[in-house]
């Protein structure tokens, strides 16, 4: 499969073959699913907690004597049967993270990128340079590419103007080729790579060096 490299005005500058194997069958589908589930699980805080009988505040004094009152026996103010008492089998702090090995992650990313390339959702531009950090300049610069909300920009290194200019545009996110994840590849309508960022992804997907 070939990719077209253009400028920000949409003018074609070059075309070359993708430097990694495009997955065209069902291979990698389960890897994508497992990787996304692991990503979402890792985002869970797992800090919810209910107090047990031994953790709620209160005295250890018996509420009333055992016999002779006409009431049911009670031995603690902290009983789960009482308002304000402890919780039986309540939620406890929990680590929801799921371990995914590097080979599965690599396969999942290659599968996800392959599908977005085949669907025509990937745009590769030579570079993205903004003269200012204004949102108006950002929108006008990327307008010829049809990139608005629901887009992911993949660049190389820190680009302060780009980060600031895109911050106020709904559902536009910026990441780097080194940090790109399978989950990030799946959610946007369009993915815009700079040429250098796309080379970084190609290297991550198994290519030793991209000229």
pLDDT at 207 over 70: no
Which of 95, 130, 165 is the endpoint of a domain?
A: 95
Which letter does DSSP use for residue 13 in this model?
A: E
191 plus 107 within the same structural domain: yes
121 plus 65 within the same structural domain: no
135 plus 192 within the same structural domain: yes
- Chain segment 150-204, per-residue pLDDT in tens: 899 999 877 788 889 888 888 889 999 999 999 999 999 999 999 999 999 999 9
127 plus 170 within the same structural domain: yes
181 plus 119 within the same structural domain: yes
Structure tokens at 187: 């959610």
Element of type H or E holding 183: helix 182-186
Average pLDDT of every residue of the chain: 90
What are the backbone angles phi and psi of residue 206, rounded to the nearest 5°? 120, -5
Return the pLDDT at 142: 83
In a domain, 128, yes or no: yes
Determine the structural domain holding residue 149 and report its residue range.
2-44+96-204
73 plus 8 within the same structural domain: no
CATH number of the domain at 164, please: 3.40.1370.10
In a domain, 54, yes or no: yes
In a domain, 161, yes or no: yes
82 plus 6 within the same structural domain: no
In a domain, 58, yes or no: yes
Q: Which residues make beta-bridge pairs with 123?
A: 192
- Chain segment 48-79, per-residue pLDDT in tens: 999 999 999 988 899 999 999 999 999 999 99
Q: What percent of the chain has pLDDT over 90?
A: 66
Residues 6+ apart with CB under 8 A from 21: 110, 206
Q: How far apart are CA 197 and CA 211, in angstroms?
A: 13
Average pLDDT over residues 84-111: 94
In a domain, 179, yes or no: yes
Residue 170 CA to chain centroid, in angstroms?
16
pLDDT at 211 over 60: no
Return the pLDDT at 111: 96
pLDDT at 209 over 50: no
123 plus 84 within the same structural domain: no
In a domain, 211, yes or no: no
104 plus 10 within the same structural domain: yes
Q: Model pTM?
A: 0.81
62 plus 133 within the same structural domain: no
126 plus 182 within the same structural domain: yes
Return the pLDDT at 36: 97
Which of 60, 95, 130 is the endpoint of a domain?
A: 95
- Chain segment 112-165, per-residue pLDDT in tens: 999 999 999 999 999 888 888 898 888 888 888 877 778 999 998 777 888 898
103 plus 132 within the same structural domain: yes
pLDDT at 104 over 50: yes
Average pLDDT over residues 7-32: 90
CA distances from 128 to 13, 25, 157, 194, 197 (A): 14, 33, 12, 7, 11
Return the pLDDT at 182: 96
Please tell me which residue, 208 or 126, carries the higher pLDDT value. Answer: 126
């Amino acid at each position: 499969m070939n990719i077209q490299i253009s400028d920000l005005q949409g003018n074609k500058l070059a075309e070359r073959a993708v430097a990694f194997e495009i997955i065209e069958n069902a291979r990698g589908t389960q890897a994508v699913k497992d990787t996304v589930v692991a990503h979402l699980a890792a985002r869970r805080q797992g800090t919810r907690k209910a107090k047990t009988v031994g953790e709620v505040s209160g005295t250890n004094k018996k509420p009333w004597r055992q016999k002779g009152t006409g009431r049911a026996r009670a031995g603690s103010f902290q009983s789960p049967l009482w308002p304000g008492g402890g919780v039986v089998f309540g939620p406890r702090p929990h680590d929801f993270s799921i371990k995914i090995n590097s080979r599965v992650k690599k396969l999942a990313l290659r599968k996800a990128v392959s599908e977005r390339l085949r669907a025509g959702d990937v745009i590769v531009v030579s570079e993205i340079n903004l003269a200012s950090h204004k949102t108006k300049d950002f929108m006008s610069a990327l307008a010829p590419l049809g990139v608005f909300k629901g887009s992911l920009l993949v660049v190389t290194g820190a680009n302060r103007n780009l980060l600031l200019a895109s911050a106020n545009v709904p559902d536009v996110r910026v990441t780097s080729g080194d940090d790109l994840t399978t989950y990030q590849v799946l959610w946007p309508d369009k993915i815009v790579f700079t040429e250098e960022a796309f080379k970084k992804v190609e290297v991550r997907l198994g290519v030793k060096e991209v000229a």
